[in-house]
A and B are shown apart, each in its own frame.
Chain A
Amino acid sequence: MGIDDIRDEIDRLDSELLRIFNERASLALKIGEIKKGLDLPVYDPTREKRIFARMTSENHGPLDDQAIVRLFERVIDESRRLERIMTRGEH
């Protein structure tokens, strides 16, 4: 497999990641709506810890566990931001 083939595969995976990120964000928004209805806080550290623990336990590399946590921190930060915007009706 040459560089172009590998890059094509990376492009395909990036598109798949984009779809998955947005699918995840849509679900996070649904959670946000429920939280809003129940007047629950956006920040849920216990849930975040469970996500990190589950993802690192399922991780087989080559990314190490710290890298996985950092990646999911960013995903969660953005989900939380979306939830906040939705909860406050901001645009």
Chain B
Amino acid sequence: MLIVMRKTADEKAQEEIKSFLIERGFDIHQSTGANRVIIGVIGDTETLPEADIKAFPGVLQVVRIAKEE
């Protein structure tokens, strides 16, 4: 799963979502670009409802990675 943060998302918003994910046992790979932060979530993200992630402040988009057959 990829979580794209809004340009306006501040550090507190990033910390909040990262803390949520890490506490639930997910590994994260943060990529900080010039304008945006993208958080790659590693683990069984099927248990993560998109709506819950989108409800966090600063989250622009949640992208699920398609499962390989």
Contacts and interface: CB of A to CB of B under 8 A. Distances in A.
Interface of A: 41-43, 45, 49, 66, 69-70, 73-74, 77, 80-81, 84, 88
B29 interface: yes
A46 B28 CA distance: 17
A66 B27 contact: no
Interface residues of B, number: 14
Interface stretch (B1-9, B16-24, B45-53, B54-62): B16-24
Interface of B: 11, 15, 18-19, 22-23, 25, 27-32, 34
B25 A80 contact: no
Contacts, number: 35
B13 to A, nearest CB: 12
Contacts of A80: 22, 27-28
Interface on chain A toward B: helix, strand, loop, or mixed SS? Answer: helix
B10 to A, nearest CB: 12
